[in-house]
Amino acid sequence: MIKSILLLAHTDESGVTLPNSAYESLGAAMALAQQSGAALAIGLIGADVQSAADTIAGAGASQILAVSGPDFAQPRAASDAQAAEALARAVSVDLILAPATSRFLRSLPALAHRLQGRVDTHVTSLRANGDELAATRWFYRQRIEGVFTRGERPWIVLLDSGCHQPRHGSSVHAAVEQIPVVLTGPAKRTTVTGIRVPKSDAQTIRPDAALLFVAGAGWTKKQLDGKTHPEEAEKLILEFLRVSSASLGGSKSLVDQSGENQAVLRFMTHLNQVGQTGATPRHPKGLSTCCHGEEPHVVGWRFINERRAINLDPNCGWARGKADVLYVANAFEVIAKLNEILEQRATHLPQAAVASD
């Protein structure tokens, strides 16, 4: 039986608000608290959390606690684990929820050890069934859905993004109780000297994008003229990503070509692979191009709400019930025309409006 829930969250890169996944976890925590009748408390970590706390002030939490200060501005496993421990010990808690961010995935397993509890990551949903709390997650690379429960307390659960509707409280001033934490030398040993990120036009993995664009091996195969056109394919795909703000995925057969001495798309890596990776892309829409749509690839599309595909073969795998819409057409021609249309619209509409279509 769950009597109390603690939601942990940290500020995002701006330092003034929470990442979207934290608001999704807040929605899950509020729903679970309503189902079980448990009290909900919120613990925040960051340099200055007041602005972030104000965005969730009306969420119905009995307490909003914080560990804040310059030492907690950047992600660091040792200091984050110590801050989370202080927040957890400040309230009597049975269940600790947190978004599955890279920051918490590194630090909260240590929290479970310190509290002698249990931790589960990549959980997609939680539900209360009487006195029992059940968690759901995917196993064997998204092929098997498992439902399980644990008797150990506290139970720490990290929730995957894209599984719950984000919830915001009314934006009013929040009463935040500061929990003092003094870091010793070992906890401050790691320092962040800087952040290296690719240029915005070189970034191809965008988890929050409205559209997932998946390229198949057909982009590097011989086309209607009997020749391959990888350079043209690269230009068309990168231009589409730029004008649409889409995220890029690739079939396994395409990303594997780099080790087979075949023509490749130079910007495509195994990090872009959809299917057979254990990755869980969750985008509102998906567009697959030059891909035959075998089952392992379709597994990666399990959580895409609307699937469309472009393929010259009317009998491709996508035509057999795996796509909502199949365009029997040349992907080179279709994407070139789309780029032209989107470029024209971009000159008249804000980028956000273009990306949302």
pLDDT of residue 71: 93
Residue with tokens 């992907």: 331
Considering 134-138, 164-168, 293-297, the range whose residues carry the highest mean pLDDT is 134-138
Residue scoring higher pLDDT (101 or 278): 101
| Lowest-pLDDT range of 42-51, 214-223, 329-338 | 214-223
Q: Distance (Å, rounded) from C-alpha 316 to C-alpha 310? A: 10
Q: Is the model's pLDDT at 254 over the cut of 90?
A: no
Q: Distance (Å, rounded) from C-alpha 251 to C-alpha 256? A: 9
Q: Are 169 and 60 in contact (CB under 8 A)?
A: yes
Q: Is the model's pLDDT at 263 over the cut of 80?
A: no
| Lowest-pLDDT range of 43-52, 90-99, 134-143, 212-221 | 134-143
Q: Is the model's pLDDT at 336 over the cut of 90?
A: yes
pLDDT of residue 26: 96
Taking only the tens place, the pLDDT of each residue in 274-329 is 876 656 678 889 898 887 655 556 666 778 889 898 988 888 777 667 788 889 99
Q: Are 126 and 134 in contact (CB under 8 A)?
A: yes
pLDDT of residue 251: 82
Taking residues 235-260, what's their average pLDDT? 85
Q: Is the model's pLDDT at 66 over the cut of 70?
A: yes
The pTM of this model reads 0.80
- pLDDT classification of 123: cutoffs 50, 70, 90: very high
pLDDT of residue 2: 86
SS (H, E, C) the chain: CCCEEEEEEECCCCCCCCCHHHHHHHHHHHHHHHHHCCEEEEEEEECCCHHHHHCCCCCCCCEEEEEECHHHCCCCHHHHHHHHHHHHHHCCCCEEEEECCHHHHHHHHHHHHHHCCEEEEEECEEEEECCEEEEEEEECCCCEEEEECCCCCCEEEEECCCCCCCCCCCCCCCCCEECCCCCCCHHHCCCCCCCCCCCCCCCCCCCCCCEEEEECHHHHCCCCCCCCCHHHHHHHHHHHHHHHCCEEEECHHHHHHHHCCCCCCCCCCHHHECCCCCCCCCCCEEEEECCCCCHHHHHCCCCCCEEEEECCCCCCHHHCCCCCEEECCCHHHHHHHHHHHHHHHHCCCCHHHHHHC
| Lowest-pLDDT range of 206-210, 211-215, 232-236, 254-258 | 254-258
pLDDT of residue 280: 66
| Lowest-pLDDT range of 30-39, 61-70, 246-255 | 246-255
Q: Are 158 and 21 in contact (CB under 8 A)?
A: no
pLDDT of residue 168: 73
Residue scoring higher pLDDT (257 or 229): 229
The angle at the Cα of 300, spanning 296 to 303, to the nearest 5 degrees, equals: 140
- pLDDT classification of 356: cutoffs 50, 70, 90: very low
Report percent pLDDT > 90 for the chain. Answer: 53
- pLDDT classification of 353: cutoffs 50, 70, 90: very low
Residue scoring higher pLDDT (58 or 349): 58
